[in-house]
C-alpha cells in the first residue's frame, strides 16, 4: 500500500487533538488496525469514521476503552439486528400483499 | 416557536449547580448519543435538545439570560426585538464543534437561535487545532564555513536560534528546525523553520557533491623527468610525487582529501587534481639549442 493512501498517526492526533497513546490503545484492543511502513505508524482512511466515533465516545462521553470495546460489539450486533428487521419487514410486506 | 424548558430537558432543578448540570448532561448524552443509537431519529432529536440545554445552562451568562427571558415567552420576544435593534448582535463562537453525524443547521432549535443567535463553541476538544505557519529563511555561508561542523546563532522573528550546521551542507540544501515557525492556533503546534543554505565558493576548488576538483601547474622538466610537487588541498598542503613523462591534462585522485560527507563524521570525498604542464617561455639561445638537439634524437 502506498503511504500516500494512509494517514500518519502523528498527523491524525495533532488534527483531532488526541493523544497518540489513545490510538495505540485502540490498536492494542483490536478496535483499529495501525499499519506500519518502515516503522512509521499509519491509519487507513476507511477506519476514520470508526475512530472518530471512538474519539467522541471516549472524550465527549468519558467512556473508557473497555466500554468502547463492549459498545463496538453491541453496535455491530444492533446493526445486524436492524438489517434483519428490515429484511423481515420486507418479507411480511410481501406476504401481506399476497393476502390482499 | 415552542418554548423549551432546558431544566426539564436535563431533568434538573432550577437551582442546579454547574456540577449537577455537567453530571446530568453526561448521563443523558450517554443515553441518547447518536453513536450509541444508530438510525434512531427520536434519540437524535433528544440528544440535540440535551446539547442545546447544556450549552445554555453550563454558560453562566447564557443561563442568566435564559432565566431572565426564557421563563416568560412574551418577554423573550421583546428581548429579541431589542436585540435586533442593537444591530444583530450574535453570540457565535469561533471554534467548530464535533459533528455528530447530522446537519449542523438542525443542531439547535429555532428557539435557541432566537435567544442566542446561533451555536457557540464550548467544547475544548471539539476545536480543531491548527498548525502554525512554516517560515523560510536563507543562510549565506562560505564554502570553508561548511567544511567543519560549527554552531551559529540566528535571529528569526525576534527569536535567537542556536543552530548546529553540519559539515558538508550543500548549496541549496534545506534543513528543517521543528517548532520554530509561526505559533499554532487553538493550542496547535508551532510551524517549522526551513533554512536554505546559499554557499559561496570563493576557493580555487570546484565542488561536485563531496568531491573537489582543482588544477595545478607543473613545469615541463618535472613533467618530463618526474619530481616532487607541493599542492594546496582544502585543509592544507600536501607533497605529491610526479611520475616521469606525465602528460598535460593528467588527472590524479587524492583519496579522502575532498569535502566532508554530510552527517557522516570522518568520511570525506576525494580531491581530483589536473596537471597543467607549462611550456617554458623566454628561452635563452642555449636552451633553444639544447631543445633542437633533443628534437633530433627523437
pLDDT tens by residue, B220-239: 999 999 999 999 999 899 99
Give me the residue from B30, B39, B188 closest to A14, CB to CB.
Answer: B188
Tell me whether residues B33 and A60 touch, CB distance under 8 A.
Answer: yes
Mean pLDDT of B96-101: 38
pLDDT of amino acid B2? 65
Alpha-carbon distance B242 to B218, whole Å?
A: 9
Q: Which of A17, A71, A79 sits opposite B36 (nearest CB)?
A: A71
pLDDT at B84: 58
Nearest CA in chain B to A79: B38
CA–CA gap between residue A46 and residue A53 (Å, rounded): 13
For CA atoms B213, B218, B224, B228, give the dihedral sign.
Answer: negative
DSSP-derived 3-state class of residue A17 = coil
φ and ψ of B224, to 5 deg: -80, -45
Closest approach of A71 to chain B, Cα-based (Å):
8
The whole-number pLDDT of residue B11 equals 92
CA distance A45 to chain B (A): 17
Rounded Cα distance between B282 and B129, Å, is: 79
Assess whether pLDDT exceeds 80 at residue B209: yes
Q: Measured between CB atoms, does A71 come within 8 Å of chain B?
A: yes
Q: Quick one: closest CA in B to A63, which residue?
A: B30
**Residue B259 DSSP class:** P
Query: B271 in the Ramachandran plot: left (φ > 0), alpha (ψ -120 to 50) or beta?
Result: beta
Spell out where chain A has E strands.
7-8, 34-37, 40-43
Whole-number Å distance between alpha carbons of A9 and B61: 39
Of the pLDDT bands very low, low, confident and very high (cuts 50, 70, 90), residue B93 is very low
Which of A18, A61, A71 shows the shortest C-beta gap to B29? A61
Average pLDDT over residues B81-106: 43
User: Average pLDDT for residues B183-190, to the nearest whole number?
Assistant: 74
Continuous segment of H or E residues that includes residue A95: helix A65-99
Residue B232 CA to residue B214 CA, distance in Å, equals 9
pLDDT interval class at B98 (50, 70, 90): very low
Q: How confident is the model at residue B79 (pLDDT cuts 50, 70, 90)?
A: low
- Burial profile B163-195: b = 16 or more Cβ within 10 angstroms, e = fewer: bebbbbbeeeeeeebeebbeebeeebebbbbbb
Chain A residues with CB-CB distance to B100 below 8 A:
56
Average pLDDT of chain B to the nearest whole number: 80
Which among B30, B38, B187 has CB closest to A61? Answer: B30
Whole-number pLDDT of residue B133: 77
Q: By the 8 A CB rule, do B253 and B272 touch?
A: yes
pLDDT at B184: 74
> Are A61 and B26 a contacting pair at CB < 8 A?
yes
Residues of chain A with C-beta less than 8 angstroms from the C-beta of B188 = 14
Instruction: Give the whole-angstrom CA distance, residue A15 versus residue B248.
Output: 65
What is the Cα–Cα distance from B142 to B165, expressed in whole angstroms? 12
Assess whether pLDDT exceeds 90 at residue B244. Answer: yes
Lowest mean pLDDT among A59-63, B38-42, B58-62, B121-125: B121-125
Q: Do A17 and B33 touch (CB under 8 A)?
A: no
Q: What is the pLDDT of residue B100?
A: 41
Q: Is the distance from CB of A59 to CB of B33 less than 8 angstroms? A: no
Q: Smallest Cβ distance to A60: which of B38, B98, B128?
A: B98
Whether pLDDT at A47 is above 60:
yes
First to last CA, chain B: 117
pLDDT score at B111: 65
**Pick from A57, A59, A82: which is nearest to B35 by CB?**
A57
| Cα–Cα nearest to A72, from B36, B32, B29 | B36
Quick check: B122 pLDDT over 70?
Answer: no
- Spatial CA neighbour of A56 closest among B251, B205, B99, B193: B99
Q: How far is A89 from chain B (nearest CA, A)?
A: 16
Assess whether pLDDT exceeds 70 at residue B147.
yes
- Say if residue B114's pLDDT is above 90: no
The pairing of strands B251-254 and B236-242 is unpaired
Question: What's the pLDDT at A1?
Answer: 53
Question: Would you call B214 helix, strand, or coil by DSSP?
Answer: strand
Cβ-defined contact of B123 to A60 (cutoff 8 Å): yes
Task: Tell me which chain B residues have a C-beta less than 8 angstroms from the C-beta of A82.
Answer: 38-39
pLDDT of res. B73: 40
Q: What percent of chain B has pLDDT over 70?
A: 78
CA distance B140 to B122: 48
With bands split at pLDDT 50, 70 and 90, how would you rate the model's confidence at B92? very low
What confidence tier does B102 reach under pLDDT thresholds 50, 70, 90? Answer: very low
Nine-digit cell at A8? Answer: 500518519
Counting every residue written for chain A, the total comes to: 100
pTM exceeds 0.80 for this model: no
**Cα(A83)–Cα(A80) distance, integer angstroms:** 5
Q: What is the pLDDT of residue A62?
A: 87
Check residue A98 and give its pLDDT: 54
- Which residues 176-215 of B are in CB contact (within 8 Å) with A? 187-189
The answer to whether B29 faces chain A, any CB pair under 8 Å, is yes
Amino acid at each position: 500500500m502506498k503511504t500516500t493512501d494512509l494517514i500518519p498517526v502523528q498527523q491524525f492526533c495533532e488534527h483531532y487533538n488526541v493523544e497518540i497513546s489513545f490510538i495505540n490503545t485502540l490498536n492494542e484492543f483490536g478496535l483499529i488496525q495501525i499499519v506500519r511502513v518502515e516503522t512509521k505508524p499509519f491509519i487507513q482512511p476507511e477506519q476514520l469514521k470508526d475512530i472518530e466515533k471512538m474519539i467522541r465516545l471516549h472524550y465527549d462521553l468519558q467512556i473508557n476503552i473497555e466500554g468502547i470495546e463492549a459498545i463496538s460489539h453491541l453496535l455491530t450486533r444492533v446493526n445486524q439486528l436492524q438489517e434483519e428487521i428490515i429484511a423481515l419487514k420486507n418479507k411480511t410486506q410481501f406476504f401481506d400483499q399476497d393476502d390482499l | 416557536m415552542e418554548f423549551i424548558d432546558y431544566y426539564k430537558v436535563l431533568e434538573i432543578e432550577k437551582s442546579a449547580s454547574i456540577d449537577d448540570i455537567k453530571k446530568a448532561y453526561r448521563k443523558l448524552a450517554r443515553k441518547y448519543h447518536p453513536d450509541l443509537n444508530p438510525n434512531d431519529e427520536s434519540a437524535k432529536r433528544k440528544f440535540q435538545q440535551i446539547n442545546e440545554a447544556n450549552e445554555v445552562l453550563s454558560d453562566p451568562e447564557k443561563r442568566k439570560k435564559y432565566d431572565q427571558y426564557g421563563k416568560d415567552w412574551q418577554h423573550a420576544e421583546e428581548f429579541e426585538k431589542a436585540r435586533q435593534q442593537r444591530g444583530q448582535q450574535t453570540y457565535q463562537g469561533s471554534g467548530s464543534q464535533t459533528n455528530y453525524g447530522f446537519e449542523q443547521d438542525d443542531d439547535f432549535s429555532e428557539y435557541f437561535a432566537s435567544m442566542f443567535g446561533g451555536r457557540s463553541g464550548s467544547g475544548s476538544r471539539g476545536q480543531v487545532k491548527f498548525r502554525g505557519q512554516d517560515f523560510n529563511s536563507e543562510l549565506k555561508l562560505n564554502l570553508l564555513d561548511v567544511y567543519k561542523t560549527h554552531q551559529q546563532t540566528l535571529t528569526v522573528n525576534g527569536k535567537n536560534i542556536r543552530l548546529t550546521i553540519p559539515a558538508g551542507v550543500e548549496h541549496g540544501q534545506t534543513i528543517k528546525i521543528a517548532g520554530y515557525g509561526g505559533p499554532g492556533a487553538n493550542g496547535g503546534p508551532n510551524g517549522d523553520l526551513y533554512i536554505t543554505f546559499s554557499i559561496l565558493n570563493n576557493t580555487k576548488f570546484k565542488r561536485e557533491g563531496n568531491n573537489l576538483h582543482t588544477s595545478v601547474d607543473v613545469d615541463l622538466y618535472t613533467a618530463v623527468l618526474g619530481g616532487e610537487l607541493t599542492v594546496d588541498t582544502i585543509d592544507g598542503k600536501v607533497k605529491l610525487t610526479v611520475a616521469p613523462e606525465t602528460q598535460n591534462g593528467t588527472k590524479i585522485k587524492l583519496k579522502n582529501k575532498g569535502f566532508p560527507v554530510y552527517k557522516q563524521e570522518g568520511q570525506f570525498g576525494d580531491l581530483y587534481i589536473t596537471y597543467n604542464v607549462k611550456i617554458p617561455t623566454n628561452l635563452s639561445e642555449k636552451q633553444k639549442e639544447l631543445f633542437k638537439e633533443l628534437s633530433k634524437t627523437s
